[in-house]
Amino acid sequence: MMRTRPLKVALLGCGVVGSEVTRIITTQSADLAARIGAPIELAGIAVRRPNRVREGVPAELLTTDATALVKRGDLDVVVEVIGGIEPVRTLITTAFEHGASVVSANKALLAADGASLHAQAAEHGVDLYYEAAVAGAIPLIRPLRESLAGDKVNRVLGIVNGTTNFILDKMDTTGAGYSEALDEATALGYAEADPTADVEGFDAAAKAAILAGIAFHTRVTIDDVHREGLTEVTAADIASAKKMGCTVKLLAICERARDGRSVTARVHPAMIPLSHPLASVRGAYNAVFVEAEAAGRLMFYGPGAGGAPTASAVLGDLVAACRNKLAATTGAGESAYTQLPVSPMGDVVTRYHISLDVADKPGVLAQVATVFAEHDVSIDTVRQQGRSQGLGGDTNDGAADAPGGAGRLREGGEASLVVVTHRAPDAALSATVASLRTLDTVRGVASIMRVEGE
Task: Give every CB contact of residue 326 below 8 A, 6+ residues apart in sequence.
Answer: 3, 7, 36, 37, 38
Q: Is 409 in the site for its own copies (CB under 8 A)?
A: no
Least Å distance, CB 25 to its own copies, is 8
Q: Is 354 in the site for its own copies (CB under 8 A)?
A: no
Determine which one of 8, 107, 207, 249 is catalytic.
207
Nearer to its own copies, 300 or 399 (CB): 300
CA distance 72 to 95: 9
Nearer to its own copies, 175 or 277 (CB): 277
- On whether the CB atoms of residues 65 and 95 are closer than 8 A, the answer is no
Q: Which range, of 327-335, 342-350, 357-365, 379-387, touches its own copies by CB under 8 A?
A: 327-335
Nearer to its own copies, 188 or 299 (CB): 299
Least Å distance, CB 361 to its own copies, is 47
Query: What type of residue is 305?
Result: A
Three-state DSSP at 265 gives strand
Q: Give 383's strand partners.
A: 399, 418
Q: What is the footprint of its own copies within residues 4-23 (CB under 8 A)?
A: 20
Q: Write down the H helix ranges in 289-400.
A: 307-326, 364-374
Is the peptide bond between 425 and the residue preceding it cis, with omega within 30 degrees of 0? no
Nearer to its own copies, 155 or 423 (CB): 155
Residue 207 annotated among the catalytic residues of the structure: yes
- On whether the CB atoms of residues 357 and 446 are closer than 8 A, the answer is yes
Nearer to its own copies, 273 or 412 (CB): 273
- On whether the CB atoms of residues 81 and 21 are closer than 8 A, the answer is yes
Nearer to its own copies, 34 or 434 (CB): 34
DSSP structural state of residue 342: B
Distance linking the first and last C-alpha atoms of the chain: 53
Least Å distance, CB 34 to its own copies, is 4
Task: Give every CB contact of residue 78 below 8 A, 6+ residues apart in sequence.
Answer: 9, 10, 11, 12, 70, 91, 92, 95, 100, 101, 102, 103
CA distance 204 to 197: 8
Give the x-and-dash track for 25-44 against its own copies (CB under 8 A): ---x--xx-xx---------
Q: What is the footprint of its own copies within residues 137-176 (CB under 8 A)?
A: 137-139, 142-143, 146-152
Given candidates 119, 235, 257, 298, which one binds its own copies under the rule CB under 8 A? 298
Q: Is 295 in the site for its own copies (CB under 8 A)?
A: yes
Identify which of 218, 234, 166 has the alpha carbon closest to the alpha carbon of residue 340: 218
Note the Cα 199 to chain centre separation in Å. Answer: 11
Nearer to its own copies, 163 or 312 (CB): 312
Query: What type of residue is 97?
Result: E
Least Å distance, CB 345 to its own copies, is 27
Alpha carbon of 295 to those of 150, 218, 301, 350, 391: distances in Å? 10, 20, 17, 24, 51
Give the x-and-dash track for 264-293 against its own copies (CB under 8 A): -------------x--x-----------xx
Q: Is 302 in the site for its own copies (CB under 8 A)?
A: yes
CA distance 144 to 446: 39
Kindly give the pairing relationship between strand 263-273 and strand 128-129: unpaired
Q: Which range, of 253-261, 313-321, 418-426, 431-439, touches its own copies by CB under 8 A?
A: 313-321
Q: Is 311 in the site for its own copies (CB under 8 A)?
A: yes
Q: Which range, of 190-198, 222-230, 295-303, 421-429, touches its own copies by CB under 8 A?
A: 295-303
Binding residues vs its own copies (CB under 8 A): 20, 24, 28, 31-32, 34-35, 131, 137-139, 142-143, 146-152, 217, 277, 280, 292-303, 306, 308-309, 311-320, 323, 327, 329-330, 332, 335, 337-338
Q: Give catalytic residues, as residue numbers.
A: 207
